[in-house]
Amino acid sequence: MLSTLYALLFYTASVLMVVGLALKIRKYARTPAPLKIPTTPAPTTRGGVVLRMAREVVFFESLFKSNKWIWLFGYLFHVGLLLVLLRHFRYFTNPVWWWVELIQPFGVYASFAMVAGLAGLWARRFLVERIRYISSPSDHLMLALLLAIGLSGMTMKFAAQTDIVAVKVFFLGLMRFQINELPMHLPLLVHLGLVAILMIIFPISKLLHVPGLFFSPSRNQVDNSRDKRHLAPWAAELEK
């Protein structure tokens, strides 16, 4: 019964996340940027922009310039999350890909980094006056949600172990549209439930910073306005 419910939940969450993100990305892609507004100094070539964007995505370059504490906590969280996510491929692949095996030990400890980063970011929301001022309930809840996902996951790894073989059977089944039995284990049910919630709210929350970064004109535009005329379709209409 609960297995069916969770199966449906994950199908729904996946569809909402994928379709929601696709719609948002389509919207960003189709909305024209009428003017050249890269924050300068900016690269003068497409390749340079790819590098600039890579530095933002891989190193959080601008955040590093801005504030070392936010950078440290944010980086710990994001890198931790990335490794943890990659490690989770083991529940969706059979046999497990070699590189997933390779990062397995790092992935486990990355959860500590992830949780520590989240805790630091959350602490700042209480302790730094300026950030307390700009925080909405949703900003706290988002951190609570991510923290609860991390902690429930760690509980299963380090405290009350769950039957991960059964979990894997469940998810491999979902990928073939079969509903197998999910272990009735509280930390697991909490963990999966919260992950589904995160997937559902992804396209309608500030998690849109993920696709948003790639569409940010101040970062993704080439500084070549004198050499190449840039004209938005609606602006071209004005010239007729």
Partner 1 sequence: MVPLDDDSKKNDVRGPTGHPLEIPRLACGAMADLESYHAKPAHNEPLGFPGELIDDWKEVAIAKIGELASKNRAFQVYLDACVKCGACTDKCHYFLGTGDPKNMPVARQDLLRSVYRRYYTFAGKNFPWLVGARDLTREVLDEWYNYYHQCSQCRRCSVFCPYGIDTAEISMAAREILDTVGQGQKYCNEIIAKVKDVGNNLGLNPKALRATLEDLEEDLEEETGISVRLPLDEKGADILLITPSADFFAEPHIEGLLGYAKVFHAAGVSWTISSYASEAANFGMFIGSYENMREVSLRIRKAAQDLGVKRIVFGECGHAWRVAYSFLNTLAGPFDFLDQNYPIPQHILEFTHAEIEKGTLNFDKSRNDEYRMTYHDSCNVARGSRMGDKPGGQFEIPRAVLKAVCNNYFDMDRDTIKESTVCCGGGGGLLTDELMDLRTKGASPRMKALQQVTEDHGVTHMAAICAICKTQFSKVMPKFGYEMDSVLSVHQLVSNAIILDGQQTADDTSEAEE
- In angstroms, the CA 66 to CA 59 distance is 13
Q: Identify whether 95 is preceded by a cis peptide bond (ω within 30 of 0).
A: yes
- In angstroms, the CA 62 to CA 64 distance is 5
Least separation in angstroms between residue 3's CB and partner 1 is: 29
Least separation in angstroms between residue 91's CB and partner 1 is: 28
Question: 127 or 165, CB closer to partner 1?
Answer: 127
Question: 4 or 138, CB closer to partner 1?
Answer: 138
Least separation in angstroms between residue 172's CB and partner 1 is: 33
Least separation in angstroms between residue 56's CB and partner 1 is: 7
Question: 63 or 151, CB closer to partner 1?
Answer: 63
Interaction site with partner 1 (CB under 8 A)? 24, 27-28, 31-37, 39-44, 56, 60, 62-63, 65-70, 74, 120-121, 123-124, 127-131, 133-139, 141, 201, 204-206, 208-209, 212-213, 215-219, 223, 225-226, 228-232, 234-235, 238
Question: 228 or 240, CB closer to partner 1?
Answer: 228
Exposure string (b/e) for 203-237, b if CB count within 10 Å is 16 or more? beeebbeebeeebbeebbbbbbeeeeeeeeeeeee
Least separation in angstroms between residue 98's CB and partner 1 is: 33
Q: Note whether 87 and 100 are within 8 A (CB).
A: yes
Q: Note whether 121 and 73 are within 8 A (CB).
A: yes
Return the closest-CA partner of residue 168 out of 93, 60, 59, 70.
93
Least separation in angstroms between residue 81's CB and partner 1 is: 14
Question: 69 or 109, CB closer to partner 1?
Answer: 69
Q: Note whether 33 and 221 are within 8 A (CB).
A: yes
Question: 133 or 177, CB closer to partner 1?
Answer: 133
